[in-house]
Amino acid sequence: MPSLPPLTAFPPDRVRLLPGLGRIDYTELPNPFRRRRDLVRRYLMSLESGQLLRPYVHEAALFTPAAAPEPGRRYGGWEGLDSQLRGHFLGHWLSAAARLVSATGDAELRAKAEGIVDRLAALQRENGGEWVFSIPEKYLHRIAAGKAVWAPHYTVHKTLMGLLDAYRYLGSATALETVVNAARWFCRWTAAFSREQLDDILDHETGGMLEVWADLYGITGDAAHLELMRRYDRPRLFEPLLKGEDPLTNRHANTTIPEALGAARAYEVTGERRWREVVEAYWRCAVTDRGQFATGGQTSFEVWTPPHEFAARLGLKTQEHCSVHNMLRLADVLLRWTGEAQYADYIELGLYNGLLAQQHPRTGMAAYYLPLRPGARKEWGTATESFWCCYGTMVQAHTLHDARAFYGFDGGVAVGQYIPSVLTWDGVEITQRPDPEVGTHIAAGGDRGATRRPERWSIELTVRAAVPVEFALALRVPEWAGGPVELTVNGEPQPLPDGSGWVTLRREWRDDVVRLRLPRSLRAVPLPDRPEAVAFRDGPVVLAGLCEEERRLVGDPGRPETVLVPDEERDPFAWRGSWRARGQDRGLRFVPLHEVEDEPYAVYFPLTPER
């Protein structure tokens, strides 16, 4: 199927996540994406502004150890004053809060976010009018002198990112002014170094500094901000990529992904082709030429795995959440640039088997890693004593689900992810949710007349227009669709080309119902360098076997339905996504990986063909 023209994101207030999947037997089944976002909102509101600001107040020297600046329990983990990354989380908090406010109009969260912005601006004034950060300037001077400090650029970037998002989503002129003031310090500091000296400095983790300066230049058009963006170029990473080399293997992944995102933003604000070529080369090196785990992840112990060599990397610290979040952001960039559905497929894998799998479904806390060693357990953080980097990306990630549901393009709308939601666009309202007549994916209800769990995802889209209007509606047929796809408009079957990609309906719309039925195939996904070991995917959802050790199974990998059969497939209101192994020496139950909380589990299983 052909790709679409370049896509554009809708403003956050145009897309609304539905609270539930639909009413089944008078019960509203929850929308997992809305529920996870609501957990983030609850967490953001639970944190005390004064304690989040404490490192900033400390840096501005506005209190002594004997006089605490705010009442309440001081936060620990990476936010403790003994951490060199102290204060990093506040930037993530501000970005997540600002986007939530923009999407939902949440007045309570807006007031809290604007209060934090005002306090940061006041602290900047107290600190001389430029420095607005939670760590001292001398940290950056130390890395310039070749001395060890833990990622000061990474830390200050978070504050700048949060302030720019407060400007972007809250319309805060104070936030933008604070970033412009801070940029003066960096313009002056970086001017003292040669290109080689800057390269040495930037070999320390820079986070998204390139991206934030590109963002700032895109807002102000100031030549000084363009020059600052160029100084944060990363030729030692980018030039090998452009030559077709592999500078990523065994390199810290989330040090480099934000730099690729910076190149993407630099391309968008300058139009210079080299920046785009860097992004495309990065994707080839990180994904196309490397392969991935069945979950869609590619990292272990925070570093890139060697290309197609994953068997030796199934550990307790596989798939860092930060890397998942930022790779989904990069996939979103390439999806918008190219209109190619492969990037939306990649995002879908990461949504279910990364973002959902690495947030506790009841408490909302984050798991730094997603272990893939057989018998491992997810390790969840706490509300106020962890604050790992992955806590920051977790609160941001779950505010972006609405952004991935719909995209615009010249002459139409594309449905990127099947997330229950409503788009309001130019007098048209498009609602997508599970088809109540057929039944749909694991979390949804459906078809009370069916005797067995439906072997398909089925989506209903309603299009309502105030007056008849012609446009194209593009629907994604995922690569996992395992058989003939059915598409109807107002009950009339529509012709479909073979294969995955986009199917486009161009017509005059007024009051119409579209139904898309996607066969959900069970698939055995082998490890690239250990093909006898397989993971099982139900559509895009990876299944976890609940066990405390590696288990060898017997069966045909080409026919996984002979190995796994539905188990506990129905509760009073909905179909469930559980399975069990059959024909084995011992029983073994499988559940969606993103539903696993504290149980030991395995994802990959050696599979011996039946004799």
All structural domains of the chain with their residue ranges:
407-519, 522-608
DSSP 8-state assignment for residue 388: -
Q: What's the pLDDT at 447?
A: 45
Among 465, 366, 459, 390, smallest CA distance to 424 is for 465
| From 12-21, 42-51, 64-73, the region with the lowest mean pLDDT | 64-73
Among residues of the chain, what percentage have pLDDT more than 90? 86
CATH number attached to the domain at 407-519: 2.60.120
Give residue-wise pLDDT tens across range 121-153.
999 999 999 999 999 999 999 999 999 999 999
Whether the pLDDT of residue 114 is over 50: the answer is yes
Q: What tokens appear for 194 in the block?
A: 């040669």
Instruction: Please give the span between the terminal C-alpha atoms of the chain, in angstroms, as a whole number.
Output: 40
Report the alpha-carbon distance of residue 111 to residue 113 in Å, rounded.
Answer: 6
Among 425, 380, 395, smallest CA distance to 407 is for 425
Q: What's the pLDDT at 67?
A: 60
What is each CA distance from 315 to 71, 312, 373, 559, in whole angstroms? Answer: 41, 8, 5, 28
In this prediction, residues 157-164 reach a mean pLDDT of 98
Q: What's the pLDDT at 70?
A: 65
Whether the pLDDT of residue 441 is over 50: the answer is no
Q: What's the pLDDT at 521?
A: 82
Whether the pLDDT of residue 445 is over 60: the answer is no
| From 15-24, 47-56, 87-96, the region with the lowest mean pLDDT | 15-24
Among 142, 140, 168, 175, smallest CA distance to 154 is for 140
All residues at 6 or more sequence positions from 92 whose CB lies less than 8 Å from its CB, including other chains = 158, 161, 162, 391, 392, 393, 395, 396
In this prediction, residues 95-113 reach a mean pLDDT of 98
Q: What's the pLDDT at 36?
A: 97
What is each CA distance from 158 to 23, 124, 349, in whole angstroms? Answer: 41, 16, 27
| From 24-28, 37-41, 123-127, 456-460, the region with the lowest mean pLDDT | 24-28
H-helix or E-strand spanning residue 470: strand 456-477
Mean pLDDT of the chain: 93
Asked if residue 397 lies in contact with residue 43, where contact means CB atoms within 8 angstroms, the answer is: no
Among 337, 327, 345, 229, smallest CA distance to 285 is for 327
Q: What's the pLDDT at 165?
A: 98
| From 64-68, 224-228, 298-302, 400-404, the region with the lowest mean pLDDT | 64-68
What is the three-class DSSP state of 395?
helix
Give residue-wise pLDDT tens across range 305-355.
999 999 999 999 999 999 999 999 999 999 999 999 999 999 999 999 999
Whether the pLDDT of residue 501 is over 60: the answer is yes
Task: Grade residue 40 by pLDDT with cuts at 50, 70 and 90.
Answer: very high
Whether the pLDDT of residue 440 is over 60: the answer is no
Q: What's the pLDDT at 497?
A: 85
Phi and psi angles of residue 197, each rounded to the nearest 5 degrees, phi first: -65, -40
Report the alpha-carbon distance of residue 396 to residue 52 in Å, rounded.
Answer: 16
Torsion sign (Cα): 234, 236, 241, 242: positive
In this prediction, residues 429-449 reach a mean pLDDT of 61
Q: What's the pLDDT at 346?
A: 98
